[in-house]
Structure 1
Amino acid sequence: MNAHYRIKYTHFSFVLVVILLLSLFSDYPVQAKKSYTYYVHKTSKLYTNSSSSKQFMRYVPINATLKTTSKRTSKMFRVTYGGMTGYVYRSNLWTRRTTIGRYIHKTSYLYSSRNSSKQRVWKIAINKKITTDSNLNYKMYHVNYNGKRGYVYKSNLSSYKTTVVKYVKKASRQYKNYSRTRRYSGTIPVGTRLETQSPQSNKLYWVNYNGRKSYVYAVNLSNSSNDVTISENQLPINTYGLIGDAGTHALWNMPSGTEGSHTFARLSDYNDGRPLSILKEAKVGTSEWYQIKFNSSTTAWVVKSAIQTTFRELPALSKVQDITNNNAQIYSQPVENDKFAIKDDNNQNVTLKVFQVALSVDQVAVIDGQHWVHIKKYTAGTSVGWVKADGNLNYSSVSSTADFNYLNSVKVASSSYPIFNDNNEFITYSSDYLNNNYSVNAEKVINGDMMYRLNGIGWISGRALIVSGNQTRSYNVFTQTKDGTIYLNQNTNNSNYPAGNSGLTLLNDAYKNKMLEVIDQKQTSDGTVWDFLKYNDWFDQQGKDVYIGWVRDDSLEALADATNSFSQKPVLTIPYSVSQQGLAYYSDGQYFIGFDEGGGLGSVKLYDKNASKLADSGLQNFGHTCALSYDPSSHKLFEVNSAGTTPILNTLSYDSSSKTIKVTNSISLPDSVKYVAMMAVKDKNTLILMTEKYANKETFYVVHLDDNGNVSGDIKIAQMGDMGVVQGMQYFDGNLYFMANDYLTVLDEQSVEDTANGPNGHSIIINQRYHYSIPKQDPSESEGLTVIPEESNDKLVTLSVGFHNHEIYTLQVPVSK
């Protein structure tokens, strides 16, 4: 090829290569800048730019995540945080999260998550140290505590330990080390103020006392100086005690913790099984002591818990004849001070007017010239309290050993109680007579404890006995056409005939509406059948009985029994161990169930017929979560929280897609509505609320809501007599199904509204009442009542009853009109 063509070919090749290269570059995208992720290591400022004229925009917290495309060698990085773009110093950043230490400043809970379904995992005490690598702007931090991971609220944390003030309530030794292998001589006396920064869950605290630092036991300290007391009181004569497990208890010349106190013997050296005379009682901080007399020359102080039983024989049992001032305040101590005033569940003062049952006097005291008596419900009843006698009540003595044929059959059910003869001398323990039946022919009161004389055996505390009776029947005494006088069977020469008119009758307000049970029966020589009645305050639980007295059998009316209407086995067993409370039927065998989680918090969960959890509200401010009811027409679930000073009505909705139960509306109920124990939905705009035992009445509130869920118009209020411990309430087809103790009462709902709104003379109508026995042999407190509409018809209503053991049974009763 000649030179001319070689030159032309070479030029052409060069041009072709250039074209090919350009075409390649035109098809190749421009490479994006590389992005780097950093975490704030030291709280950093965000500036407008990186020049000397930069302006401060905001702070960026430790562990905030930042991304930048700036060169790694740049002094400042360009970042975006919180919707703002600017520059931060590279020296404040790190490629890893920074672990930050914090101390618990306020007792905190470790939660499972940060969302609404979070659950409490652990309780963390003040001054415990935790670590976190969370963004320090978060409301909750992710932490590691005791090998458990979870979340705590930022507001409960501090960068420094918290100084906690303590008061010595029990004389405390000072240890040089935490293992307590070395200690200083002497103790820190009761009442001393100390400061500590130790974790409040520690067994020992590090303190400074008179310039000496040492460890002391946490249990010897108190948070309040009010808990620290030193007092000594002379006990009444004829006060005795029986020694319990005395092997490790020492005898002291003075109560331990007081100046100059020391030990000199062991209590076991003096334990011969006989009662010992108790002279004085004392309190040193929270430690309680008795001064005991062993013989004519030996006395000693011993910790109060070493004495198993204390008692004081009174010369006579006294009966309250009449109450002259119904408004007389009852106190826990014979001191006219609001600190000791007894309150009811609604924080109202308890006065004599709520105790219209027969009362007995078991202790008498004269304080600063004022005459006080301690009263209790008559015959084996529970303690009431102290009241000033003058101007408030009259009482008279009754013979403490009068034969009165009180009970035909009682069983000795405890083996640990002492038995005494008529001279108050110890004979033996009740283990010799365990499970045997005896008759009772006398009673007396010793130091507030009702004592019974078993025929041919001796005296024993009523707490060791169970009234077995020869039959048990339930009666409704509310609808009586003829009244029945109640007899106490005291002071009679004819032991075959009930005597001792109590002055009360079956239609007295103390017994009206209550379900009374016959536990014993006898027939006198004239052919009259007599029944001995009791009232139980709490779902057949032993020890809660109030014995009432004898009445003629023909003055009682039988009560319908619904026991056989229960399902043979539970229809649902809930797999959740927290205290079960409210119950509301949803549909197709599904139930909303309320749980009391403690601390004013509650939760509502939805379970299907197979006990699978379909939805969960998580922890909410629901209080006891017992007032729960569902309206199928509006698909709204209602709950009332009465944990605070004002009841809060919560409206909830169920979202099946997210498996959540959410609070959609919360309102405070008016001041006229007190603590709400139960609730029933009548329709989407009408709720019926109930307050238990307010002024010794069951109080109903008819509340109307507008379409926005707010209270509309006046609230109607109606009352009827106390019916017991209320456990459930539900509206259906014109009736309120009302459950208290082991009884189901069907109230005419319209009569509730008429009583609240109508003229004088209206009363709440009781359509029907049923007694039932709890399905299982062992008592289990009933919790919640609801209606299954799809299984009810014009003849039978199907109810569901929840129980404390997390079981739900169904119950069918005839329709009441």
Structure 2
Amino acid sequence: MRLTARLTTFLLIFVLVFSVVADYPAHAKGSRTYYVHKTSKFYSTSNSAKQSMGLIPINATLKTSSKKSSKMYKVIYSGKTGYVYKSNLWTRRTTVNRYIHKTSYLYTSSNAAKQRVQKIAINKSLTTDSNLNNKMYHVNYKGKRGYVYASNLSTKKTPITKFVVKASKRYKNYAHTKKYSGTIPVNTVLTTTSPQSNKLYWVNYNGVNCYVFASNLANSETSVNESELPINTYGLISDSGNHAVWNMPSGLSGSAEFAQLSQFANGRPQKIIKEATVGSTKWYQVQFTEGTTGWVLQNAFSKTFRELPALWKVSAITNLNAQIYSEPVEDDQFALRDDQSNHVTLEVYATIALNVDQVATIDGQNWVHIKKYTAGTSVGWIKASGNLQADPAPSTATFNYVTRVGIVNGNYPIFNDQNEFITYSKDFLNNSYSVNAEKVINGDMMYRINGIGWISGQALDVPGNLVSASDNSKYKYIDPSNGDFDLFDSNPNDGNALSRDRIASLLDKNYRNKMFEVIDTKSINGVLWDFLKYNDWYEKAGKDVYIGWVRNSSLLTLENKTEQFSADALVQIPGSRNQQGLAYDEQGNYFVSFDEGNGLGRILVYNGKGEQLSDTGIQNFGHTCALSYDKNSHTLYEVNSSGTAPTLNTLKYNPNSHELSLIRSVDLPDVKYIAMIAVKNGNQLIMLSESYSDLDTFYTIDVTSGKNLGTTQIGKLGVVQGMQYYKGTIYFLANNYLTLLDPDTLAISHRYRFSIPKQTPAESEGLTVIGGTDDHVTLAIGFHNHQIYSVDIPADK
């Protein structure tokens, strides 16, 4: 009995242990992990009575102990036991492609500590192997791993509607190297599924697939706003680039280009009738002639303003502390005309005759533009309210000419008495007309022709009054020791002019050293009066400044040395670089400097045949207009003024190999912009600072340290183009006249006029001495057309 009980107990224990041991190893060995690679139904059983309990998403993780040969595997999902088809499972995660259908961000993680990494544009393609039931997917974007919200993704690209806001070219490839003819007009509706960060979008236009620039499209239809501009609104054409003229703003249905702006650009302001905004692009409608108008991009004009019918005189400055601005703008913080330390105010001009010639209204604020009558140069823009008082100019002075005038230039506009444009002078060429009035508007001598209107005197030939252009005696300068130097702005025939309209004196620093051109002469009660202008820019059209009437006895005639120019150019410099400075060695070779742009320059050496001997290559030389050579030490000096302070560069010259090597660069903190330099001796240089003030400043600089050893100033001589020191004299070239100066006192000893050169009028670029005796000095002058001419003048004794 006892044995039977023991046996029974043992057998029970054995069965229990065996069943536990047998079941555990079998389960552990048979458990396998799978991932759903195709969305799978979750069934209640594996037999024919099975029912679906829901769906299991791609990349869900499942475990099973079912036999591998089974058609369906038993799994647990979301706490429920059921079956899935083996064919929907895979041993690795499945990579799924998705598209951004709503602008999304890439995050560092999927938990609460996540941070944004990068923005991802609509229709960008991503791949993920995350469980597609997750709130955020793990992705790779541009080499970065992170997470995006699943709700921002879709299985297909999202069509995006776009509107053409700028007439768009159609390209055949993304590289936009091949294109279809024609453009897609503004406000055309297009659909694209391209990633919205692409530079070009793939679209279909009129049944043809093509690429267009994304920058030409927008999410909303463009608006076209058009408005009239005030009468007498004008614009100055910018010097940069060329622009088309359109019958209506480009890109609108029916728009077409019919001309180039260069066909109408005559150096004078163009009359603007309307302005229009097409999307974000601004346009002006311009009246070129009475019958020709066209639309031009607003940025084709460097400046627009409303010109007054006549100059207004500033009769009083009521606020000496009023700031002067370079442009009338709403945000005047960045428009102050200053040198980054001292703001310019009206106090500087308190004793100078000023005029108002333009008005502007910006954001409800009234502005006026003032200029010096004594030089015709711009002072700047002033807020009108409370700062100054200005009165309209005196009424037009009337007179009778003995002879009739002829219109000889067809490029000038004609205005009526209300200063409204009528037509151009080309309609009245080669006929004679009577004149009954004259006036000065914005520095231009205007004549009223009976039956036609007002026209610039530059378009007229007035026999017996205007001095003949071939008369060399019309070029004058003042005789400081003799004469009455009062300047008047009205016709001397007006009996009240001499007492009423005195505007300045030729002894003012603005005029003292200028070369004048007499363009009109009258005899009043036996006294000759001359109407004067000056032009510092080699007599270039459009650079004239008209200044007023003065007694003829106050002027001396400049000696004309045009005939002393060499008949032909000494040297023709090859190439088309921007030529600037000029110097000369003792062997007959020339140093010629060139501006390469962006603060860079280079210096080349040429022989007398124009053959290149050496080249420094591109260096930090700036504009390179300041250049001078010391033949005793074989040293070439150059000043770079492109930075905040000038830099003196010293180069050693090898007369045998003609190579130039930079040996020293020294900053010049004590001087301003340097326009010219000249070697005074082995230890000192003379430097000229030509600013926008009324003075030219000369510095004496130590060649090694760059220290300023002394400063002298003189009333502005003109737009300097060359300077040389030779045997105790500074030779100073201001385009079409040469002034000889004492280097210590800046006293003027001689002045000469040139037509430089008479064969090929061009801007002068550099002056150097190439020879001389006790009786004469031979100068070489470079020109912008890459020619170098010589001229002889008497030696300064």
Bin of the TM-score, shorter chain as denominator length: 0.5 to 0.7
Offset at 1:642?
Answer: 1.3
Q: Measure the CA separation in 1 of the matches of 2:459 and 2:508.
A: 29
Q: Measure the CA separation in 2 of the matches of 1:185 and 1:785.
A: 55
Residue 434 of structure 1 corresponds to which residue in structure 2?
429
Q: Which amino acid aligns with 1:362?
A: D
Q: Which amino acid aligns with 2:716?
A: D
Residues 1:593 and 2:573 aligned together? no
Deviation string 1:466-490 (CA, Å, 9 cap, x unpaired) is 6772245222226344441111116
Offset at 1:714?
Answer: 4.6
**Match of 2:699, SS?**
strand
Compared CA separation, residues 539 and 418, structure 1 to 2 (3 A): closer
Q: Measure the CA separation in 2 of the matches of 1:395 and 1:528.
A: 32
Offset at 1:630?
Answer: 0.7
Offset at 1:742?
Answer: 1.3
Compared CA separation, residues 307 and 742, structure 1 to 2 (3 A): closer
Residue 727 of structure 1 corresponds to which residue in structure 2?
721
Q: In the alignment, is the contact (CA less than 8 A) between 2:604 and 2:615 conserved in 1?
A: yes
Q: Measure the CA separation in 2 of the matches of 1:639 and 1:531.
A: 43
Selected match of 2:733 from 726, 739, 748: 739
Compared CA separation, residues 816 and 335, structure 1 to 2 (3 A): farther
Unpaired stretches in structure 1, ≥5 consecutive residues = 1-167, 199-204, 223-227, 242-246, 269-274, 293-299, 752-763
Residue 793 of structure 1 corresponds to which residue in structure 2?
773
Structure 1 residues 574-589: aligned runs within 5 Å:
574-589=573-588
Residue 750 of structure 1 corresponds to which residue in structure 2?
744
Compared CA separation, residues 545 and 369, structure 1 to 2 (3 A): same
Q: In the alignment, is the contact (CA less than 8 A) between 1:677 and 1:691 conserved in 2?
A: yes
Selected match of 1:683 from 667, 681, 705: 681
Offset at 1:804?
Answer: 1.6
Q: Measure the CA separation in 2 of the matches of 1:807 and 1:218.
A: 49
Offset at 1:710?
Answer: 3.1
Q: Measure the CA separation in 1 of the matches of 2:749 and 2:274.
A: 59
Residues 1:541 and 2:521 aligned together? no
Q: Measure the CA separation in 2 of the matches of 1:493 and 1:674.
A: 46
Offset at 1:740?
Answer: 1.1
TM-score (norm 2): 0.62
Q: Which amino acid aligns with 1:769?
A: R
Offset at 1:583?
Answer: 1.0
Q: Measure the CA separation in 2 of the matches of 1:267 and 1:620.
A: 44
Q: Which amino acid aligns with 1:646?
A: A
Q: Which amino acid aligns with 1:665?
A: R
Offset at 1:579?
Answer: 2.0
Q: Measure the CA separation in 2 of the matches of 1:561 and 1:765.
A: 21
Q: In the alignment, is the contact (CA less than 8 A) between 1:488 and 1:501 conserved in 2?
A: yes
Q: Measure the CA separation in 2 of the matches of 1:276 and 1:768.
A: 45
Residue 101 of structure 1 corresponds to which residue in structure 2?
none
Compared CA separation, residues 714 and 416, structure 1 to 2 (3 A): closer
Residues 1:627 and 2:611 aligned together? no
Residue 389 of structure 1 corresponds to which residue in structure 2?
384
Selected match of 1:806 from 779, 782, 786: 786
Residue 45 of structure 2 corresponds to which residue in structure 1?
none
Compared CA separation, residues 400 and 235, structure 1 to 2 (3 A): farther
Residue 357 of structure 2 corresponds to which residue in structure 1?
362
Compared CA separation, residues 237 and 629, structure 1 to 2 (3 A): closer
**Match of 2:744, SS?**
helix
What is the CA RMSD across the aligned residues, in angstroms? Answer: 5.0
Offset at 1:701?
Answer: 1.2
Residue 72 of structure 2 corresponds to which residue in structure 1?
none
Structure 1 residues 468-547: aligned runs within 5 Å:
469-471=466-468, 473-477=474-478, 479-489=480-490, 494=495, 500-524=500-524, 526-547=525-546
Q: In the alignment, is the contact (CA less than 8 A) between 1:170 and 1:287 conserved in 2?
A: no
**Match of 1:715, SS?**
strand
Q: Measure the CA separation in 2 of the matches of 1:323 and 1:619.
A: 50
Offset at 1:624?
Answer: 1.4
Offset at 1:727?
Answer: 0.6
Q: Which amino acid aligns with 1:486?
A: L
Residues 1:783 and 2:746 aligned together? no
Residues 1:771 and 2:771 aligned together? no
**Match of 1:673, SS?**
coil
Compared CA separation, residues 744 and 537, structure 1 to 2 (3 A): closer
Residues 1:693 and 2:691 aligned together? yes
Q: In the alignment, is the contact (CA less than 8 A) between 2:629 and 2:679 conserved in 1?
A: yes
TM-score (norm 1): 0.61
Residue 44 of structure 2 corresponds to which residue in structure 1?
none
Q: Measure the CA separation in 2 of the matches of 1:466 and 1:382.
A: 25
Q: Which amino acid aligns with 1:799?
A: L
Q: Which amino acid aligns with 1:749?
A: P
Structure 1 residues 37-48: aligned runs within 5 Å:
none
Compared CA separation, residues 606 and 560, structure 1 to 2 (3 A): same
Q: In the alignment, is the contact (CA less than 8 A) between 1:280 and 1:291 conserved in 2?
A: no
Offset at 1:781?
Answer: 1.0
Compared CA separation, residues 512 and 313, structure 1 to 2 (3 A): closer
Compared CA separation, residues 338 and 637, structure 1 to 2 (3 A): same
Residues 1:373 and 2:368 aligned together? yes
Q: Measure the CA separation in 1 of the matches of 2:684 and 2:272.
A: 64
Residue 41 of structure 1 corresponds to which residue in structure 2?
none
Offset at 1:686?
Answer: 0.7
Q: Which amino acid aligns with 2:795?
A: V
Offset at 1:783?
Answer: 1.1
**Match of 1:532, SS?**
strand
Q: In the alignment, is the contact (CA less than 8 A) between 1:311 and 1:449 conserved in 2?
A: no
Offset at 1:559?
Answer: 3.1
Residue 43 of structure 2 corresponds to which residue in structure 1?
none
| Higher mean displacement: 472-481 or 355-364 | 355-364
Residue 113 of structure 2 corresponds to which residue in structure 1?
none
Compared CA separation, residues 349 and 441, structure 1 to 2 (3 A): farther
Deviation string 1:481-501 (CA, Å, 9 cap, x unpaired) is 444111111697559x76752
Q: Which amino acid aligns with 1:597?
A: E
Offset at 1:635?
Answer: 0.9
| Higher mean displacement: 385-394 or 528-537 | 385-394
Compared CA separation, residues 650 and 424, structure 1 to 2 (3 A): closer
Q: Measure the CA separation in 2 of the matches of 1:698 and 1:221.
A: 53
Deviation string 1:689-734 (CA, Å, 9 cap, x unpaired) is 11112533211111113xxx333x5532222111110011111111
Compared CA separation, residues 695 and 383, structure 1 to 2 (3 A): closer
Offset at 1:532?
Answer: 0.9
Compared CA separation, residues 449 and 568, structure 1 to 2 (3 A): closer
Q: In the alignment, is the contact (CA less than 8 A) between 1:653 and 1:662 conserved in 2?
A: yes
Unpaired stretches in structure 2, ≥5 consecutive residues = 1-162, 173-177, 204-208, 236-243, 260-269, 288-292
Compared CA separation, residues 306 and 812, structure 1 to 2 (3 A): closer
Q: Percent identity?
A: 44
Q: Measure the CA separation in 2 of the matches of 1:179 and 1:408.
A: 64
Q: Measure the CA separation in 2 of the matches of 1:409 and 1:616.
A: 59
Residue 553 of structure 1 corresponds to which residue in structure 2?
552
Offset at 1:404?
Answer: 5.7
Residues 1:674 and 2:668 aligned together? no
**Match of 2:398, SS?**
coil
**Match of 1:538, SS?**
coil
Residues 1:608 and 2:607 aligned together? yes
Selected match of 1:333 from 322, 328, 331: 328
Offset at 1:596?
Answer: 1.7
Q: In the alignment, is the contact (CA less than 8 A) between 1:637 and 1:652 conserved in 2?
A: yes
Q: Which amino acid aligns with 1:389?
A: A
**Match of 2:605, SS?**
strand
Q: Measure the CA separation in 2 of the matches of 1:409 and 1:663.
A: 64
Q: Measure the CA separation in 2 of the matches of 1:276 and 1:476.
A: 36
Residue 313 of structure 2 corresponds to which residue in structure 1?
319
Compared CA separation, residues 645 and 623, structure 1 to 2 (3 A): same
Offset at 1:629?
Answer: 0.7
Q: In the alignment, is the contact (CA less than 8 A) between 1:476 and 1:514 conserved in 2?
A: yes
| Higher mean displacement: 770-779 or 466-475 | 466-475
